[in-house]
Amino acid sequence: MKFTIILASTAALFFSEGLQAQGNSKPLKIGEVLPDLTISKLMNYPATEVPLSHFAGKALLLEFCNVYCSKCTEMIPQMEALQKRFAGKLQVIRITRNTRQQVKDWQSRYGSKAAMTLPMAVEDSTFIQLFPVKLPHHAWIDSRGVVRAITQQTNISEERIRQLLAGEPLNLPEVQYLENFDPKKPLYADSSLNLQQYVQYHSVFTGYINGINSKVGYTIDPSGKHYTRLAFYNTPVKNMLKYAFGGYPESKFGNPTDDRMLIFEVQDKSRFIPPADEAERAAWDWENAWCYEVQVPAKHRRGLQELMQQDLCRYFGVKVAVEKRKVTGLALQGIGVYDSLLTRGGKTQTIYNSLSQTYQLKNVPAQKLVSTLKGMLEKYMVVDETGIRENIDMQLPRSENLDEVNKSLKRYGLWLIVKEVEAEMLVIRDEG
């Protein structure tokens, strides 16, 4: 026997319940040969029962369908058009588990939309065993009766049929039959799926996971082409918000322990701020630290931060804005000539010598000095009012005492004064 067959299955998931499959046919795989079975209970065909060998020399398009599947109805014009376009070379046959009466009722309901001249086999219990995919799909069989591909429904086209008839490679992705798939379970909980191979976008929150260190991470897949992932583990909400609105890996709103640039306008601040007593921290983390991951395709990498902002605000019920506010802080000002401060050039670097406890700033912007001062004087907001645009060189002994820091700055013509300053702050409010 020599014949060419394409089998198209549409929405097998929606087949009627209660009809028992007959025979012991096993699902066919790519590379296996289709047996010469009999198609029974045909409508719209001269004979009600024919073997597959009856269509030797023709391509067969067996479309498994269901009268309760809207896509099956939508496919009728396309199937009719293919039958006419390849008359003499192709035979389209629809196959369903529905009864003859159900088919007639369906045609009455949909009128012209369900009108067709295509042969239709009803009450099937044999062919569905060969291709039991629970999604709309096509099974492609070459002229030797060998299964060449099992694919989704959308792959049917005139060009693909020509390729099959000509013996050309189809290069179509395979759709698999997930026998144990349970639609009542969340996707991530279904053991029959290897979900990672399908995921392109995802956002996921979990509560505190014991055994994972509190940290953040920024990951690109090994090829660097497919996806970008930003992940936080056992992290307070306020720290995730800093990175979401202040940038990653270095947030302009401070490191995880620096909250000087945060303003909370919320009824309950305790869910954001860890307790000062370390003995209470573990219990607080269990209730208020979270794991969060967000992933997007690499081409949408620039939108990752905005997506994270939306996720955090939506899930934790907050509104967040970056606003200029006046707060009591320290203003770095010039008090004389600071020519000795200007850089002599060289490599840009900031080095901290732990032995001498001294910062060495070389050929850096003045803003780097401000960041260094923020790190030393943790009780204060520090802003730059020097107007210095050139890069600078400086040695600055580490100290948490404002008077000692000013003594060091004075040698370079600089001074810190306590005053009301204006700075960009991250304002966190309750939603609504």
Residue pair 240/290 in contact (Cβ under 8 Å)? The answer is yes
Quote the pTM value. Answer: 0.59
pLDDT at 336: 79
The verdict on 310 and 346 lying in the same domain is no
The verdict on 113 and 227 lying in the same domain is no
Mean pLDDT, each 10-residue run in order, the chain (432 residues): 45 31 66 86 93 83 82 86 88 88 90 88 87 73 77 80 84 72 71 72 90 66 70 92 87 86 94 91 92 88 90 96 93 85 92 92 92 89 91 94 94 93 94 82
Helix (H, G, I), strand (E, B), or coil: what is residue 432? coil
Helix %, strand %, coil % of the chain (to 5): 30, 30, 40
CA distance 109 to 285: 59
Distance between start and end Cα atoms, the chain: 73
Tally of structural domains, the chain: 3
The verdict on 203 and 289 lying in the same domain is yes
pLDDT at 170: 82
The verdict on 8 and 58 lying in the same domain is yes
Give me the sheet containing 392-397, strands edge to edge: 349-353, 358-364, 392-397
The verdict on 71 and 161 lying in the same domain is yes
The verdict on 127 and 228 lying in the same domain is no
**Position 178 in a domain:** no
Structural domain harbouring 352: 326-426
Cross-strand partners of 3: 144
Q: Last residue of a domain, which of 165, 183, 218?
A: 165
Q: Which two tokens stand for residue 244?
A: 């979401």
Q: Please state, in angstroms and as integers, the Cα–Cα distance from residue 361 to each residue in 353, 382, 412, 414, following that order.
A: 11, 18, 13, 15
The angle at the Cα of 425, spanning 267 to 351, to the nearest 5 degrees, equals 125
pLDDT at 129: 85
The verdict on 257 and 303 lying in the same domain is yes
- Domain of residue 24, CATH code: 3.40.30.10
CA distance 189 to 101: 40
